[in-house]
Chains A and B, each alone.
Chain A
Amino acid sequence: MGPYVLRRLLQIPPVILGLLVLNFVLIHLAPGDPLYFLVGEGGDESYYSAIRSRLGLDRPLAEQLVRYLAGVATGDLGRSIRHNEPVISLILGRVPATLLLTGTALAAATGVGVWLGTLSAARPGGLLDRLTNGVASVLAAVPSFWLGQLLLVSLAGWLGLFPVQGMVSARLASGGWALIIDVAHHLVLPASTLALLQIALIFRLTRQSVRETLVEEFIRTARAKGLSPRLILYRHALRNSLLPVVTVVGGHLGTLLAGAAVVEVVFAWPGLGRLLYDAILTRDYPVVLGIFLVVSVMMVLANLLTDLTYAYLDPRVRYA
C-alpha cells in the first residue's frame, strides 16, 4: 500500500500544473479585454495603457504565465482586477459561505439518502421502495435552478416563509444567537434545493450498494447465525455498503460545487460560485484562475481519496 500511496501523491503536482497552464492559456486565447469593464466609457488611450501596464497585462503571455506560476508557488494568486484585492483573500472570504451551503446540503442529503436507501433496499419492490425510487428518479431529472426558482416563488414569494435572497438580513445589527438563527433561516431554501438533488444520487447509490451487499456470503452467514434482520441490515449490510457510497459521493464533488454555483446565483448566496460567476462575466482573470485552482485541487484530493479507497478495497487495482 505504501509505494502506491507515494506514487499517487507524486502524480498530483503535474496534474495541477497542467490544469493551471490549460486555464491560463484558455483565458488569454479568448477575445475581450478586462480593461473596458474597469475603465468604462470615458478613458483615452494613455489612460488605458497606464492601467494595462500597472496590472502587468502588457507583458508577453509567457511572462505573465511564469509570473503567475511563481506567484502561486508562494501562495500569491495575484490581485483581482475588478476588486483590487488579493485573489486569495477574496476566495477565502467566500469559502465559508460555500462550505456552509454545500456542507449542510451534503449532510442533510447523506442522512436522508442513506436512511431511505437502506430502508428501500431492505424491501425491494415494497411500497416505500417504489415510492422513494420514483421520487428520486424524478428529482434526478430536475434542473437545480428550476427547482430553486419553484421553491423561491412558492415558499418565499407566495407564502413568505423564508427570506428570498442572501445569507444575513441587512438590518440585523446584533450577533450571537440572533445571527445564527438568521443565517439558518436564509440557509433553508438554497440548502434544500441543493440537498434534494443530492438525495436522489445518494439514495440510489445506497439502495444499490445495500442490495448488492445483502446477497454476499457473510450476510448469509450472519443470517444463518440467527442474528435479527434489523441488526443484519444496519450493522452488517449498511456498514459494508457505505464505503462505495462515500467514494462515489467524493467523486461527485465537482457536481456538488457546480450545483452550488447555480443555486448561489438563484438565491444570491455570497459564496464561491457567485464569485466565479461574477468574475467570469467581468473577465477578472486572476479570480477565475484562482477559483479554478482551488476547485481543481479540491477535486484532485477527492479523486486521490477515491482511488486510495478503491485500492484498499480491491487489491487488484493496487498492483496493476
Chain B
Amino acid sequence: MVLTRNDDYFKGGLPYLDRVIFKVIPQPSTAVLALEQGEADYLWTIPGPDIRRLQANPNIVLARAPAGPGGSFCIDTLIFNLRRPPFDRLEVRQAFAHAINRQQLLEQVYFNQGRIATGPIASTMAWAYTPDVTRYDHSPERAPALLDGAGYRPGPDGKRLKVVFVHASTYARTAEVIRDNLARVGVEVELATLEFNAAVERVFVRADFHLGIASYCNGPDPEIGVTRMYLSTNIKPIPFSNGAGYVNPRIDELFARAATTVDEGARAAMYHEIQRILTREVPYWWLIETEGYRAFRKEVRDLRIWAGDLLERAWREGTR
C-alpha cells in the first residue's frame, strides 16, 4: 500500500515525506532482517528474540509503545466459560490463577514486552486503576487444596480434570506454557489451536469451550473497552463481548452509573470497586498488559510513536 503526500494538508508545509509505503512481511524474522539491512525504515512489531540484537544495533532505534496490535491498553486475558463445569466453581478459577506462571509467560513468551496484569483495568490507565485488589501470586502448591474443595480429586492416573483450551494460533506459545503449568497440578489442558476467525467463532459465538483467550483492549476509556466484558446484557454471540458469560447485578449497576457520571473522581471510585469485586470473583484471568516495541532506522526522525499522527512531522536523512 502506498500513501502519497497530500499537498493540501491543513498544516502548512506538512507532512515532509512524499511517499510512505506499507508492506506486509509474513515472517517476523524476515521483517527484522529487512529493517537491519535498510530495506525497511520502520517496523510495527518486533519478535521478542530479536529485541536484544536490535538494541545493540547502532543504526536502529527501539521505542516502547503502549499498545498491542489491536488498540490501546491491551490485556491478554483468559476467558473462563462460567456456564459449564469446571469453571462454574470459583475454587477452580482461583486454582488456575495460582497455577499459571505469569512471570514465565512474561519472560519467555512476551520477552518482557509488557507487565503482569493485576485486574481488569490496565495499570497505565492511571486515573481509573487501583492496585488495591485481590492478588493471586504464582503458588501452584495452593492449587490442589482448591481443586479438592471443588470436588476435583486426582484420579488413578493423577489427573484431576481435563479442559479444552480454545485459542487462535497467535497464542500458541502462551497456551503451551499454560498447559505445562497446569499439568503440574494435575490438570490436563487440551489445546485446540485454531485460525483466528475460527477461534473467535467457537469462543464467542458458539460458546463451545472451557478456556479461551483474547486480547481485550481498554481503549481510551474503561467505558469503551472494559464494560463490554462484564455486563450481563452483553452476553451475546458477538466477538469480544462478555465471553465468560459473567452475571453480577452489582457490576451491571456500577458500570451503568460510571457511564453516566461526569466527575472523574467519582467515576474512579466506582471503577475501583468494580476492580475489587472482579478480582475476588475472577470471571476472567488477566495475564499480561501487553506493550510492544517499535523499531526504526536512525535516519528517520521525528516519528511520533505515541500519537495518532505518527508521520506528520517525520523526515528521513539522506533523502530530500
The CB with the most chain B CB atoms within 10 A, among A34, A152, A164, is that of: A164
- Complex CA gap A278/B25 in Å reads 11
**Chain B CB within 8 A of A267 CB:** yes
> Per-position contact with B for A137-180: 1 when CB-CB < 8 Å, else 0?
00000000000000010001100100111100110000000000
Q: Which of A41, A160, A165, A283 has the most CB of B within 10 A?
A: A41
Contact (Cβ within 8 A) B197 A34: yes
Question: A281 within 8 Å of B by Cβ?
Answer: yes
16 A-B pairs (CB sep. < 8 Å) = A32-B202, A33-B201, A36-B200, A41-B71, A152-B30, A160-B37, A163-B37, A164-B33, A165-B27, A170-B23, A170-B40, A265-B27, A266-B30, A277-B26, A278-B26, A281-B195
Interface size of A by Cβ–Cβ distance < 8 Å?
34
State whether the Cβ of A268 lies closer than 8 Å to any Cβ in chain B: yes
In the complex, chain B residues whose CB is within 8 Å of the CB of A37: 196-197
Count how many chain B residues have C-beta atoms less than 8 Å from C-beta atoms of the other chain: 30
CB-defined contacts of B23 to chain A, threshold 8 Å: 166, 170, 268
Docked complex Cα distance between A289 and B37 (Å): 37
Mask, A39-55, CB within 8 Å of B = 1, is 01101110010000000
Q: Does B302 contact A (CB under 8 A)?
A: no
Q: Complex: how many Å from CA A280 to CA B201?
A: 16
Q: How far is the CA of A36 from the CA of B70 in the complex (A)?
A: 14
Question: Which residues of A lie under 8 Å from residue B314 when comparing CB positions?
Answer: none
Rounded to whole angstroms, the CA-CA distance of A95 and B39 in the bound complex is 24
CB-CB under 8 A from B27, the residues of chain A are: 165, 265-266, 268
Q: Which residue of A lies closest to B201 (CB)?
A: A32
CA distance A160 to B200 in the complex (A): 41
Beyond contacts A41-B71, A164-B34, A166-B34: 18 other A-B pairs, Cβ-Cβ < 8 A, are A31-B198, A32-B198, A33-B197, A36-B201, A36-B239, A45-B238, A163-B34, A165-B25, A165-B31, A166-B39, A170-B21, A268-B23, A268-B25, A274-B26, A277-B26, A280-B195, A281-B195, A283-B197
A108 to B5, CA, bound (A): 42
Q: 1/0 per position for A283-313, CB-CB distance to B under 8 A?
A: 1000000000000000000000000000000
Q: Is B184 an interface residue (CB 8 A)?
A: no
Q: Does A30 contact B (CB under 8 A)?
A: yes
B318 to chain A, nearest CB (A): 10
Contacting residues, chain A, for B70 (C-beta < 8 A): 41
- Which residues of the partner chain B approach A170 to less than 8 Å between Cβ atoms? 21, 23, 39-40
Query: For the complex, what is the distance from the CA of A266 to the CA of B29, rounded to whole Å?
Result: 10
The answer to whether A268 and B197 touch across the interface, beta carbons within 8 angstroms, is no
User: B1-29, CB under 8 A of A: which get 1 and which 0?
Assistant: 00000000000000000000101111100
Q: Tell me if B286 counts as interface (CB < 8 A to partner A).
A: no
A132 at the interface (CB under 8 A from B): no
